[in-house]
Structure formats: structure tokens, C-alpha cells
Amino acid sequence: MRSSLAWMKDEQPALFERIRDAVASGSLELQGAFWVEPDMNLPSGESLVRQALLGRRFQADEFGITPDQVRVCWLPDTFGYNGNLPQILKKSGMDYFMTIKLSWNRTNLFPYRSFTWEGIDGSTVLVHMPPEGDYNSHAAADGLLRGLRQYPERDLGTALLVYGAGDGGGGPGEVHLELLARERSLYGLPRVESSTAEAFFAELASHDVEHRHAGELYLETHQGTYTSQAAMKAGNRRLERLLHNAEALAVIVGDDSREPLAGPWRDVALHQFHDILPGSSITRVHAEARETYARLEGEVGRYIDSLAACLTSQDTSPDAVGSALNLTGFARLEYVRHRGAWYRADVPPYAVAALRPVGKIAGFSQDADLIGNGLLTLRFGEDGAIVSCTDAAGAEHSAGGLNRLVVHRDPYQFPFNACDIDPRYHLRPSRTPPLLSVETLADGPTITRRQTYRLPHGRLAQDVVLEAGSPLVRIDTRVDWHERLRMLRADFRPVHYGDQVRCEIQFGHICRPTTERNSVETAQFEVCAHKWVATEDAAGGFAVVNDCKYGHRVKNGLISLNLLRAPIFPDRTADRGHHEFSYGFLPFAAGDLSAAVQAGYRLNNPLLTGDWTPQPSLVATNDPAVVVETVKITEDGRGVVVRAYESLGVPASVKLATTLPHASATETDLLERPIGPADLDALAFGPFEVKTIVLAP
């Protein structure tokens, strides 16, 4: 991984020079192409782009290796691979993909070892999984024969043997090399030849590889990594947002220095390593990582403050009410607090707008077990769950309770306690924490029901918030969590539910079955999603959104959001302590999935307020299906990148309007290498396509 080489350069420069010489002579082949071997489920799409940018630039700067020379993505040990990874790889100069991890499937044997993998946008890469199923091969005869038996595509006549101490490093030893020397042409064994990975894949690509797989590469184990070490997940999500905001704000104020964010991006990418962010490391790793996240939040936060100070100041007299800054690709119409008072904000994408007085709020209702805002009316049961959710037309959206908190036993799964969840957890008796107190609070344009619960070893408080004019029910949660081998979940049983759930992933979403009609569907008892999941039938839809959670169970009428776990190995202190997070839900009209997409962005990217002069949209599209995800200075500092993606899975042709002065607009790949001119008045997007546009001054 690149970061280990960066450490080597800093701390062992003489050894690093020997590595550089070995690479130049061809006796050492560098693998990876990312900054580290990152988790592929949890980082955002933009984070995975930066993994590639950082890794590729390090290869080029330190070893003279261009992206055209390294086309292999080498990720043996990551816990599953998202459905949009083929597009990210392809647009980062990687045509080939190697892993062994699906050989760890707990229930179903993955059917292929050499195959074409098609992502949700239609992009394809060639995949090879060494058929022995191990990155620690002993290179012995029994392993060669086992690989032959386990290779459905053996007629291709070629396969990869990954030998040596691969997990934790060490590489080949004398025994491995001696065995290989004896096995090169031994009767009864496959012929063994030495090769680079690049040469192997190039040769494999010359064959007619028949098998094809579409969608994600779901790993049927380690689903606990979507939730374990909640502070890691929350810190990563916050930093992804802060880095996004800092980059966009730097463009708005004309600061073209990339240096203030170079270090934070490297550190965030480092902590996305597949045993850090997923929560599967020892106590010390996570303690140090949390300290690093706190330091980075301070550094990036101060940089954002310095950039915001460069915005033209508004009149700061007592009569001035201030303004709101929107750093998302959607227009925002919502309420904000500024200087202790509530205001109404109506802000275009990537713009600053003056705040307006709230005016009279109408439509709120409340009772002992009820709150409403005119759009939704919520009725609560004795356990604090929402037993009824009706809209303004009187339609019911709760089929069996919404936001029912449940504490499950989460028994030790040997040997990977932090990684794994017992697939049968939901079949065992569980507990609903007892409700201790209830209070209803009205504050300006919001009405809140505050509920406090007792946990076996702690307390939990929730504010269920309705805002005037908003269909989102926001649930702000504070937990003192000191459980052991327990799991806290929020369960929703909505009226509108279908055979598929749409789950947001990197630069798009993926459809997964909500049924258990076969062993493959049953094995997906826990799935990863980012800001939202949504179910739908012909009459309507229902979405659950969150600001830092990833694990979900969506089966047989249930949407269950995994809030916290309490594993004891390899960190017996995992997740114990205080947690604060928000999630929520919203009913939406049938076919209006964009409502879920926008709700996810609004929950994760709150408006910023200050005393600034209004500014028009820096960049916006005329179709909300196409999301402007990133606005940043180019890697060479000579222009501005606008990165957008189609979010609904349908073709779109959009106009990209911008107030950025530019002499040319060029479409590039994710490494910012030119593809051709871009017509901003008519950008054609395929389903889930990611486009990178560089505006040159």
C-alpha cells in the first residue's frame, strides 16, 4: 500500500532507495493503485477517487510509474466490493481487479474465479480470484491441486498463485521459493511460471472469458464491520463532509492552494484502511484513530472558518439577520438558527442567500401521545415507538410501528467478533428498552417529542423532531452505551414495501432483495448503505436516512437500522461510551426517489450561517437527478473540477450552469486526464454515470 511506502521514505530513506532500485530493475512489482488497501463499502465515492489519486500520484512522483503502466487493482482482503467500483476503477485507469475475499463466503460458493464484472452504470473490469482462495499460499503441491479443483474456468489454461506470508506482510520465504523451483514442470501438477500481475492479466484478457457478474460483490461474512466502532464511522462521515465543504468554499472565495487539505486527505484515506474504518482492529488503533479524527476536525474546521471569513461581509448592524451558505447540489428551503433565533433559508445550490424572518407557523398539533406539523401526524405507543404516521390526506404509513428501539443479544462470533454478526440474531428473544420520561417541546418552526429510555447499563435519549413544511421526521439520539455483546437497532415497519430495497452506495444506489426466497437472499441478512435506504410499492414509498450509520437489515416488511454494537474482541472496549447521532424517515410519493436522495444530503450537510453578502449559484444542474457532488481545485492547481453523477439510475441530459469564469470545459477521467471537450449546455449522463468536468480559467 502506498502509505506504508510513504512511511518508508520518511523513516527509512536508505531502504526506500533500495525499493526504488528494485522497482526500476523490474525485480519488484508494486501493487495497489490506491493509497491503502481501503474498505470498499464504507468510504464515500469521492473518498475512493482520492484513494486512487493519492496512490497514482505517489507511484508517478516516486517511481515514475504512470497509470497506463499499472492497470491492476489489487485488493485481496477487503470485506466486499460495492456495485459502482467497476466505474471508479475504469475511470481511474484500472481495467483489472484481483481479490480472494469472496472465497470466505459463509453460505454460498461464489460461482466464478475469472469473470467480467459489470457495475451499476454498465462499466466492466476483468476479475481474477486466485482459485486456491488464499493470499497466504504455501506454494505446495496440495495447494496447486486444490486451486485446479476449485477453478471453474480452468479451460482458460491460466490462473494466479499468490504465495508467501501475505496477511501482515513478510512475503515469500525460502521454503516457498524452493517448492516453486521444484514444481515448475512436475508431472501431475499444473505448470508453474513466474510472471508479473500485469502480464498475467494481459494474457488472461486475451482469452474469451465467458462468465459475467453484475452488481456488487457481496461478502457473505463480516457484516458486523458496517457497524462496529461507531465513533470511527461517525468521524469518517464528518471528515468527508468537512473536506467537501472546505474544497467547495475554497473555490467560492478563490483560494487555489491545495496544501491545507493535502495532509488531512492523506490521513482520512489512511484511516479508511480495511481494518481501521470497519472496526476490526485492536484497542490502541481505534484510540489513536479517534484522536486523529478529533485533530483533523479541528484543522479542517479552522480552515473552513478562515475561508468563510473571506466571503464578503454583510451589514452587521443590529437589524441585519445574516445569511445561509448551501454547499450541496440541491436548492434548500428550510429553517435555521442564527444568533439564537430562527430564520427561514431559501438557498440555491452552492450559493449564499439572505435569511428571512420566520413569520407565523401554523399546522402544529400536540397531545399526550401525538405531535404533528400539518404534513405528518405521529402517534406514539407506550414503548415510545411511533404506532401511527398519517399524512395530510389521512393515509397511514406505519404498518407495525416506526422507530421501535430493540436491544438484541449479539453473541460472540469466533474468531472475528468485531467483524461478524450471528445471522440468527433476530430469531432470538430481544428487549425493548423501557421508556422513562416523555416531554413535548415547541421551538419556533419545530415541535419535538423528547423520550428517555433506560438501558441495561446506560441511558438513551431521543428527540423526535418535526419541522414546519418538512416531510422528514428527524430523530436526534444521545446514548450512554456500556453494554457487552449487545446490539441496538431501530426498527421500522412501513406500509409501502416491495420486493426490493434501494440502498445508497458510492455515486448511486443498488437494488437488493427484501425477500428470503433462496440461500443467496437469506445470506444478505445485513447490508451496507450510506445516507439512505428506501422501499416502495405502486402507491408510495418510505425512506430511512442517517448521518453516520451503514448497517441495515431490510427483509420481510422490516427496515432495521443498526445503531450500536458491543463486541469484545479484538477491542474489549469497543463502542463503550457516549454517542450522538441523527437518523430519520420520510414517506414519499411513488416514483419520487429523489426525495430520499435529497433528504440524505440535507441531513448530512446542514446549512452554514454567517453574515455574508448573498452570492448566486457557483454551479448547478437543471435536473435534481444529477447531483453535483464535488467542486474543488484541480490536482495541478490550474482549474476547477466539477464532479457530478446521475443518482436515480435513468439516463439524463442536463445543463450545467456555473458562474465560474472559464475559457474551456473539458471532460476528464477521475485522475483528471482529458477525454474531450464538454458541452455544459447538454451533458448526457447514463444511469449512475460519474462525470468529471474541468473548467480552465
Cross-strand pairs, 248 = none
Catalytic residue among 77, 95, 480, 669: 77
CA 481, CA 484: separation in Å to the nearest integer? 9
> Smallest Cα–Cα separation from 307: which of 252, 350, 265?
252
C-alpha dist (Å) from residue 350 to 101, 124, 250, 340, 632: 40, 33, 12, 24, 12
Cα torsion through 505, 510, 514, 519, rounded to 10 = -100
Burial (CB count <10 Å: 0-12, 13-18, 19+), residue 91: buried
The helix (run of H) or strand (run of E) holding residue 435 is strand 435-443
Q: ω into residue 570 within 30 of 0, thus cis?
A: yes
Burial 467-506 (b: 16+ CB within 10 A, else e): bbebbbbbbbbebebbbeebbbbbbbbbbbbbebbbbbbb
Report helix, strand or coil for 3. Answer: helix
Mark whether 77 is an active-site residue. Answer: yes
Residue 216 burial (CB count, 10 A): 24
The helix (run of H) or strand (run of E) holding residue 378 is strand 376-380
C-alpha dist (Å) from residue 532 to 227, 263, 529, 559, 588: 15, 30, 7, 11, 13
CA 636, CA 301: separation in Å to the nearest integer? 24
Residue with cell 437497532: 489
494 Cβ partners below 8 Å, 6+ apart? 397, 398, 399, 402, 535, 542, 559, 585, 587
CA 656, CA 644: separation in Å to the nearest integer? 10
Report helix, strand or coil for 182. Answer: helix
CA 267, CA 38: separation in Å to the nearest integer? 12
Residue 591 region, left (φ>0) first, then alpha (ψ -120 to 50), else beta?
left
C-alpha cell at 427: 430469531
Catalogue the active-site residues.
77
